Structure 1
Amino acid sequence: MLQAAPGVRVVAIFEEMLRRHPDLDAGIRRTLERRIRAWRAIHGPEQEVIFRQVHEPGRLGLSDFTEMKDEEVTVAGVPLDHRLYHFRLMWSGFEHAHVILGGESYVALAEGLQNALWAVGGAPTEHRSDSLSAAFRNLDADARQDLTLRYDALCEHYGMTPTRNNRGVAHENGGIESPHGHLKAAIKDALLMRGSRDFDDLASYRHFIDEVVSRKNRRNGPRIDAERAVLQPLPGARTSDYEETIVTVTSSSSFTLRKVFYTVPSRLIGHRLRVRLYDDRLDLFIGGTHLMTLQRGRSFNNGAHGHVVDYRHVIHSLRRKPMALLKLVYRDQLFPREPYRQIFDRLIAALPERIACRHMVELLAMAHERACEAELADLLAADVAADRLPDMDALRTRFAPDPAALPDVVVELVPLTTYDVLLTGEAA
């Protein structure tokens, strides 16, 4: 069997022997494993040899991505689908990790790599990544060529020679594949000691990852300092770590990019916007003027479009057409917090559709105009828990401006002759 199929597993041979000879004792497995191992040492095929390399300080930096699904991290109670971009200097062991919300892409690589280089204060002469096969996925030949050129330009900006692993040969990136496991083990230990895997926001989680990596770097402090001294100096500024495109805002006060629907203020309807697409955000420009930053959304694995909706962008129009809420394509994404969605379900079940929509739109308008989104959400959550509808009159009274609380502002005018002191330089 070993000669006919050299790659067969020992357990398969063991099970076949028991099938052919039922009288054999199952306890022979360990003996069989030792004998097969000895036979392969004498008669087995040649194996691939790993050649250990001599590494010089300042020469090689490595990049790769690693999945974080097993850590079950949540942000504000919502599971965080993410991975880590991981950079390492081969000689000193300096590490840097950056939380990536999307898949492996050039944007994620460019942002993470530049963050790492500026954190260590220099650049190695060579940068090695995997084959970027994940970033190339679903791209046509022109897009792949453009991605390759952009990666080469990124490395050239920092004076690094770009190299890539051969696809499917994992050990060629062994200098960072193994540290992946050590880093994730350190993160897991830190999460256990923290006592919770939930974070208030993404910034808190990123700060947590930075602290874990910093502790690992402190153990290699002397070697990192020695390598830092021979790294290439950084250029005067970072290069682009985003993709740029042009979108047109439609009459629905929105645009669609990468199968994700985004709302923007209605004053931008009809305008062409320049969008800088980062891993976790979109920066919007009109001409050279920065307008706003939006959270980046993702489409679903089944091909369905994603939605990034801000109710404040459309609430003024929705107040004039409240029935539009009933069949709105992005209705569930319009609600800023879960209690708003739950209370709308109760309104629809208990009231005529027109009245329910009007009440819901008024609640959203109240949250926006009175800057009470969180407080109002707490009151609505209490109504849901008590199985009752919101008291609209009471809410209007509670969140209406109180004239008695408005400050009485008195402006005292001074004589214009007082300003003459500015011309004479004399003290008043």
Structure 2
Amino acid sequence: MKNDSEVKLYMQARKAGKTQRLAAAKAGMSERTGRKYEQMGKLPSQVKQPRTWLTRKNPFEQDWEWVTAQLERDPALQATTLLALLIEQHPDCYRPTQIVTLRRNIARWRALHGPEREVIFEQVHTPGERAQSDFTHMSDLGITIAGEPFAHLIYHFMFTYSNVEAVTLCFSESFEALAEGIEHALWQLGGVPQQHRTDHLTAAVRQTHRKETREEWTARYQALMDHYEMQPTWNN
């Protein structure tokens, strides 16, 4: 089978007005091969199908039922442990060098028949890209002053890459508390990220009745973001 670069060379020659014979000669292939790819309109890499068959017999086939039974009983079992047990039970059939084959077969079995795994979309954080913040009610801590409950909140600001953080004492989730908390954090931490993320704070996000957008930034919050040249974002 020809590679992509050869077929691309053939196609370029054809676009330049060359005959199939001249284009094929320039690309180092037969005229018939060039005609085939030209009719398909695809490169070799786009035509090649992944191999779905095994090239050799599974050497653990006679004891594979036992292997899968152990994996079903304890999904955390490793191939090294199972191979050691197989060698102990059948020293004439197995050897330590077969570990790679066993690992491959176990991985295939787990993908097809193993327990379902939790799907996790890992967040990738970039230095200087984003900070996020929120208000936290502190009443559950039962803090008192002179025996009287001290009702307050904490505005919590954090850079998502370094986890460097700053907090500000406040008494409501107002825009004034939000603006003071952001400015205090930026001056204390000595830097401004590209983005600032919040949840749907009423001090920053207002509901709209337009179908194309149900929420948008308040004018004062947008002005604060523009002043510090931060892009505002919110959590869904």
Q: What TM bracket, shorter-length normalisation?
A: 0.3 to 0.5
TM, length-normalised to structure 2: 0.44
TM-score of the aligned structures, taking structure 1 as reference length: 0.26
